Amino acid sequence: MEKNNLSNLSHDMTIPDVLSSICDSTSSLVEGCRLPVKMSGSEDWPLAEIISIREEDGKIFYYVHYVDFNKRLDEWVREEDLDTRKVQFPRKDGLTTGQNTNTGISTPKRLISTSRPTSPVHHNLQDVQVNGNTVLQAALQKKINRKRKAPSISSPAIIPATPSTPITPVPSNVTIDEDSQEVPNEKTPRQSGSMVTHHDDVVTRMKNVPLIELGKHRIKPWYFSPYPQELCALDCIYICEFCLKFRKSRKCLERHLSKCNLRNPPGNEIYRKGTISFFEIDGRKNKCYAQNLCLLAKLFLDHKTLYYDTDPFLFYVMTEFDNRGFHIVGYFSKEKESSEDYNVACILTLPPYQRMGYGKMLIEFSYELSKFEGKLGSPEKPLSDLGLLSYRSYWAQTILEILMNQETDGDTDRPQITINEICEMTSIKRDDVISTLRNLNLLNYYKHGQYIVCINKETIDQHKKSMEKRKLRIDPKFLHWTPKDWSKKPRY
């Protein structure tokens, strides 16, 4: 009996001892450690990497990046949100325990994820010197080589556009790249550009702005943006929704609004239908507005690196009008002269207006401009995850709409159209047309290197449903714009 009591007592003592051991082990955690972390708003414990550690009011907080997830989900967590039973400590060679010593790449179960370099320990966020100059310097030093396999079609492809029709042969020698819209050109990106492949550095790894107030919306940023350090230390940055200047308090913003004469973006209004307007802003003539727009956009675009050199770019801002003025909904930028025929450099719909059809409207407007220019266009790569989804959806809807509206050919009793004709009608580049057909599983190999398109009833029904939901469309009749030849140098 006494033996059992001692056994029970010993058992009872091991429970707090184990808990103490787990909690005490957090003291050995350093930046670069990987371990399961409880994600806010869910019951999941995905693998995460500790980016930074700080102490506040006697409590320790950890800034973590969830390895298999987008950086916009990065967050500060508490000690109790960490599972210290499965810690991967960083090694002296810069790798994390469990990584391949030859490649420097860890292999989680879901995805292959490159290891992040460890950064200096900062126990207080105020110790990190973050400003525009350091970000610009870091961006200018990034040179990333990427390869691209370009599709090549020796002759136009003839494509039947109705379901269950007899197959029509397509000329041979057709090479198709399934995901050509995701693969960048084989060249070093320009240092003054607006988009680069994903990279990490000490400055930009952490969100530095807790909250912004833009008009009637309070928005939680997704990524780092080089706003002045003194503003980033505040709980909220207040932004004028018309000129996009930023202030440290609502009182300062109210004083600014009493003096601000703008009630719409500076520049030319080139489109208005109903309450939707588009303004064209020259990055050289309206540099202050363009730079403030880039700072705002960087809060929601991980890949964007253009902040100051706005002269080579045009900005097209979409607004919604009411009795107070023209409120910014989203925008896209494009180079005045693009050697790669990019018709979009960066594109963003602000979070309060997402999932409402504005994103596709921005994309549609960019292609309408390309039609006016008589050029084929494509967005600059790489696209963000949300941007890629929007473009794929737009390309699919646009191409299916054309295929399904084709009239039958008198000779073959089947509607036929070439890929080149689709490109001319939509201003979508051939690479994007082909990859879209492949993503939709519509492009099928026939024989002797020939391809055909077969559209089944399920695809047609899905397309009709999606088009019924798409209420916001661009009407070319309301676009008043003349393309400018930027290759002609102005006289000074």
Q: So which residues are the catalytic ones?
A: 380
HEC string for the chain: CHHHHHHHHHHHHHHHHHHHHHHHHHHHCCCCCEEEECCCCCCCCCEEEEEEEEEECCEEEEEEEECCCCHHHCEEEEHHHECHHHCECECCCCCECCCCCCCCEECCCCCCEECCCCCCCCCCHHHCCCCHHHHHHHHHCCCCCCCCCCCEECCCCEEECCCCCCCCCCCCCEECCCCHHHCCCCCCCCCCCCECCCCCCCCCCCCCCCCEEECCEEECCCCCCCCCHHHHCCCCEEECCCCCCEECCHHHHHHHHHHCCCCCCCCEEEEEECCEEEEEEECCCCHHHHHHHHHHHHCCCCCECCCCCCCCEEEEEEEEEECCEEEEEEEEEEECCCCCCEEECEEEECHHHCCCCHHHHHHHHHHHHHHHHCCCEEECCCCCHHHHHHHHHHHHHHHHHHHHCCCCCCCCCCCEEEHHHHHHHHCECHHHHHHHHHHCCCEEECCCCCEEECCCHHHHHHHHHHHHHCCCCCCHHHECCCCCCCCCCCCC
CA 78 to chain centre: 28
- Beta-carbon contacts of residue 373 (< 8 Å; ≥ 6 apart): 483
Respond yes or no on whether the N-terminal peptide bond of residue 382 is cis (omega within 30° of 0).
yes
